[in-house]
Structure 1
Amino acid sequence: MTPSRTADTELERRGRMLFDYGSTTLYASRFDARFSWLLYVPPDIHDAGPAPELIVSVHGSNRTAADYRDFFAEFARWNRCVVLAPLFPAGVRGDGDRHGYKYVIDGDIRYDAVLLGMVAEVEEKYGLSFPRFALWGFSGGGHFAHRFLLLHPERLWAASIGAPGSVTLLDPDRDWWAGTRGMAALFGREPDIPALRAVAVHMVVGGADLETWEITHRPGTPRYVEGANAAGATRPERLDSLRRSFEAAGIAVAFDLVPGVAHTASVVVRKAQDFLFRALAAKRQSDAKTADD
């Protein structure tokens, strides 16, 4: 017997609720199927209430994307947010490289475009609109987060940058990626300082995050550039240099140095959650005032 269309529809609904709401399954990106994403979507996201917001949570070198989704699942449930956790595999170009996404551009791959393609897919799939979103990343994700911020501040209402191993300073006298000289040639845009000032920016690192073996750049290695180590020896030193670079350009930064904490995302993310809670409340208050005006 052929199942009825009614039965098909009910099965489709069950499938959507199982795989597309709550903690979702992993989907290949239509923009580029070498990359994939998973979500947390509150089951009541289409009910009446404030406009849903998007939080993008970017993994580190260990690529535990589901953990990065789960960091914000409870936050999203109670604050009407969707969480998007992209998965950027190592060795996408067949070379075994673990670091490509951290620097945004890798050969012919533009990881900023990949992420924006994922955001567009999520908007289409759920009938939502995210002209601006919040971005969090830790370690390798912190690399990506602050460089995406430099390239696309107009797409963000908040950025929380966690313990990147290396930083891109707002320094037009140093070549990309140590500074911003050459950004226009590589990406077709320079830093937009007024737009950067409009983003709520947070930087966080553990006070005991002091290992340097992985983050010291050596001449002759693939991503070595002049000034690669100039921001400092340790992650706290480098992130503080990034903070000072931003503040010198008039960009306000909330900075957390977490005492006694090493390179541990599950601890540091609590500061990011607190920051994004405040930034979200401020955004919604501003949006409501704009609507009233």
Structure 2
Amino acid sequence: MRKGHGETISYYLMGRTAISACRADQRFSYCCYLPESYEETGTQRYPLAVLVHGSLRDATNLRDQFIDFAEANQCVLLAPLFPCGIEEPGDTHNYKRILYRGIRYDEILLAMIDEVAGLYRLETDKLLMHGFSGGGQFVHRFFYLYPERLSAVSIGAPGVVTLPDPDKPWWRGTGDMKEIFGREPNLAAMREVAVQMVVGGDDIETWDVTVSPKSPNWMEGINDTGATRVERLRSLEAAFLERGLAVRFDVVPGVEHIGYLVHPPVKEFFAEVLRRRRE
């Protein structure tokens, strides 16, 4: 077990780190995990896995649930924290849509990645990224914007999906992404990324999935991809396959909407991606 401060890095910023404010925008923060093998004065560079929380914003718990993976695969973890109520009290969705009330959550995350890359020896040109529930919404939309930054993306049980359909408006589809973000999906680059979709077999509740016409998130056709998270993820899979993207689809039997219970196949998927990278 690590003891004491490093030469330039605090004890609290090594191993299971404290939560740090993002220098680019201190309304947002993150925590990391560095394997025990990480030495401040060493030369080894470590791959980076980004873990995006769901609506409960349990970033530290999510980070801790992947420590075994980080040690087994010599990988650094980064878990961003996007609080509720930024710009709009009571809002719980903000980051899921990438752009909300003028805030670009993709750019906030990229700033966090640059920040930790300036402190630790990381391989950040090709990331691993997983998100469950609200995090699953964020990561598949991030994938549309930055496939060149990813070696693997794991999309876990999103309640609402954005199809890679240029004939549907954002965020039902990708039709006006160029106007909104200055970027649009690069299908050739997306085909180079390992893709996993993962969901519990019993994740079939609809109360937190169906978007009501009274909701500020309402769009015509927003519920057309299915009634449950399983159905909606299958719709996303079908759209990916139609466009030539390979998808590993994992259904975890007997599991409801509980993130840590779908982690085993996520860790297996990421470990295989890292193994191939290191060959």
TM-score scaled by structure 1?
A: 0.90
Cα contact 1:174–1:227 (8 A) shared by 2 = no
Aligned residues: 275
Residue 20 (structure 2) pairs with residue 27 (structure 1): yes
Residue 226 (structure 2) pairs with residue 232 (structure 1): yes
Corresponding residue of 1:290: none
Distance in structure 2 (CA, Å) of the matches to 1:115 and 1:195: 20
Corresponding residue of 1:190: 184
Cα deviation for residue 127 of structure 1 reads: 4.0
Residue 250 (structure 2) pairs with residue 256 (structure 1): yes
Three-state SS of the structure 1 residue aligned to 2:119 is: helix
Cα contact 1:175–1:225 (8 A) shared by 2 = no
Three-state SS of the structure 2 residue aligned to 1:194 is: helix
Residue 87 (structure 2) pairs with residue 93 (structure 1): yes
The structure having more radius of gyration, on CA atoms, is 1
- Aligned counterparts, 1:101-116, within 5 A: 101-116=95-110
Residue 50 (structure 2) pairs with residue 52 (structure 1): no
Cα deviation for residue 266 of structure 1 reads: 1.1
Residues 62-81 of structure 1 show CA distances to partners (whole Å, capped at 9, x for unaligned) of 11101111121111122121
Segment drifting more, 21-30 vs 215-224: 215-224
Cα deviation for residue 16 of structure 1 reads: 3.7
Segment drifting more, 91-100 vs 201-210: 91-100
Distance in structure 2 (CA, Å) of the matches to 1:60 and 1:76: 20
Distance in structure 2 (CA, Å) of the matches to 1:228 and 1:86: 27
Distance in structure 2 (CA, Å) of the matches to 1:128 and 1:236: 35
| Identity rate, percent | 48
Corresponding residue of 1:157: 151
Corresponding residue of 1:268: 262
Three-state SS of the structure 2 residue aligned to 1:159 is: strand
Aligned residue type for 1:270: P
- Aligned counterparts, 1:42-81, within 5 A: 42-46=35-39, 47=42, 51-81=45-75
Cα deviation for residue 119 of structure 1 reads: 0.2
Three-state SS of the structure 2 residue aligned to 1:39 is: strand
| CA RMSD, Structure 1 to Structure 2 (Å) | 1.7
Structure having the higher helix fraction is: 1
Stretches of structure 2 lacking an aligned partner (at least 5 in a row)? none
Cα deviation for residue 147 of structure 1 reads: 0.5
Cα contact 2:19–2:31 (8 A) shared by 1 = yes
Distance in structure 2 (CA, Å) of the matches to 1:276 and 1:129: 15
TM-score scaled by structure 2?
A: 0.94
Runs of 4+ that moved beyond 6 A: none
Residues 65-116 of structure 1 show CA distances to partners (whole Å, capped at 9, x for unaligned) of 0111112111112212110000000001142200010111101100000000
Stretches of structure 1 lacking an aligned partner (at least 5 in a row)? 1-9, 286-293
